């Protein structure tokens, strides 16, 4: 019996999305690249810092998948589908940056790349995953000031909710300038929980057969459990990248990462479950000196942007 379609049998060709919703932002020192395999659909999303950025990674949930988690400075972050197989895309990002740097092997020229993945096989029967070629294509597609939103890039087959109640989500972003400081938040929502807006309404996921979306508490109240007992549940993860240009030390970056990641439980309910592998990257390009904006206040701003980004991840 023939197995599922894979990269080895289908030989997919990378594509770069040419239309759809776009977040436009003004952030020197940050580039974004997106590439996809239509055969999945699946893809990857790359955040590139040409002059290196400081970084802290906050990991929550029971099923994370990442590489380069030991790094404290970074050139590129690659979000990808394909579960653990999708981490190959981050090696493609490193390989393409290696080429762009003239294959220099000097210590200070080594590209610093971290990768994180979501399980996006829930809505598709094939075994296509973001590989090295796709990571390289995303780097070739890098550009400043633009972030595609919806079911694109790493969010091609992402969902919100669980089991048969899940709905297609995607990737979203938000940007703001506060005083002298720039703040951007980008997220790929593939959550076990549902998306909740600021009015407390479930807007994505947990959709019943009659079309109504329910809060997790209502699901439990009505059915006795948030998930059917035999349902495979290790399918989820929300990946987030918070970027600022404000100068921050390692302790401040860690504090902001925790503050923002915790705040996202307002937008995704439930969040950080055993079945999620939620990862948040907090990054600073260290380009702006803005002592008037303390780290907690910056975290408040970034937390609101994170909620905006979650709400922007899906197409109506």
Domains of the chain are: 21-311 (3.60.70.12)
Q: What is the residue-wise DSSP string for 121-167? A: -TT-SS-----HHHHHHHHHT-EESEEE-BS-GGGTT-EESSGGG-E
Q: What is the pTM of this model?
A: 0.96
Model pLDDT for residues 242-286, shown as the tens digit of each residue: 999 999 999 999 999 999 999 999 999 999 988 899 999 999 999
Q: Name 280's bridge partners.
A: 58, 240
Instruction: Tell me: pLDDT of 104 over 70.
Output: yes
CB 130 within 8 A of CB 81: yes
**The pLDDT value given to residue 42:** 98
Instruction: Tell me: pLDDT of 311 over 70.
Output: yes
Can you point out the beta strands (E) in the chain?
22-24, 31-37, 42-59, 66-67, 73-80, 113-117, 143-144, 146-148, 159-160, 167-168, 170-178, 181-190, 194-196, 202-204, 237-246, 268-269, 279-288
What residues act catalytically?
237
The verdict on whether omega for the bond into residue 41 sits within 30 degrees of 0, i.e. cis, is yes
Q: How sure is the predictor about 295, in pLDDT bands with cuts at 50, 70 and 90? A: very high
For 119, the 3-state DSSP assignment is: coil
Model pLDDT for residues 156-175, shown as the tens digit of each residue: 999 999 878 889 999 999 99
Per-residue pLDDT, averaged over 296-303, amounts to 98
Tokens of 177: 């300038």
**The pLDDT value given to residue 7:** 97
Higher per-residue confidence, 14 vs 122: 14
Could you give the percent of the chain with pLDDT greater than 90? 83
Distance CA 293, CA 258 (A): 18
Higher per-residue confidence, 55 vs 18: 55
């Amino acid at each position: 019996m023939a197995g599922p379609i894979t990269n080895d049998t289908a030989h997919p060709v990378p594509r770069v999305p040419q239309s759809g919703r776009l977040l436009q932002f003004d952030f020197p020192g940050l580039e974004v690249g997106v590439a996809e395999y239509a055969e999945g659909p699946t893809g990857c999303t790359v955040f590139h810092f040409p002059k290196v950025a400081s970084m802290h990674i906050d990991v929550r949930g029971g099923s994370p998948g990442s590489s380069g988690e030991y790094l404290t400075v970074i050139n590129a972050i690659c979000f990808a589908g394909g579960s653990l197989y999708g981490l190959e895309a981050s090696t493609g990002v490193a390989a393409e940056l290696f080429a762009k740097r003239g294959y220099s092997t000097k210590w200070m020229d080594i590209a610093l790349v971290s990768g994180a993945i979501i399980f996006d096989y829930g809505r598709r029967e094939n075994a296509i995953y973001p590989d090295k070629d796709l990571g390289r294509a995303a780097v070739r597609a890098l550009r400043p000031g633009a972030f595609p939103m919806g079911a694109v890039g790493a969010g091609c087959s992402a969902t919100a909710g669980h089991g048969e109640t899940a709905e297609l989500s995607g990737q979203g972003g938000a940007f703001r300038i506060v005083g002298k400081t720039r703040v951007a938040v980008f997220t790929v929502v593939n959550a076990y929980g549902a998306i909740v807006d600021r009015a407390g309404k479930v807007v994505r996921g947990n959709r019943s057969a009659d079309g109504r979306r329910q809060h997790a508490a209502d699901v439990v109240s009505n059915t006795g459990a948030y998930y059917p007992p035999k349902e495979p549940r290790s399918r989820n993860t929300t990946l987030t990248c918070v970027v600022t240009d404000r100068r921050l030390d390692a302790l401040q970056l860690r504090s902001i990462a925790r503050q923002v990641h915790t705040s996202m439980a307002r937008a995704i309910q439930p969040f950080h479950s055993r079945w999620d592998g939620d990862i948040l990257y907090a990054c600073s390009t260290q380009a702006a000196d803005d002592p008037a904006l303390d780290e907690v206040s910056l975290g408040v701003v970034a937390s609101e942007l994170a909620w905006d980004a979650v709400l922007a991840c899906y197409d109506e």
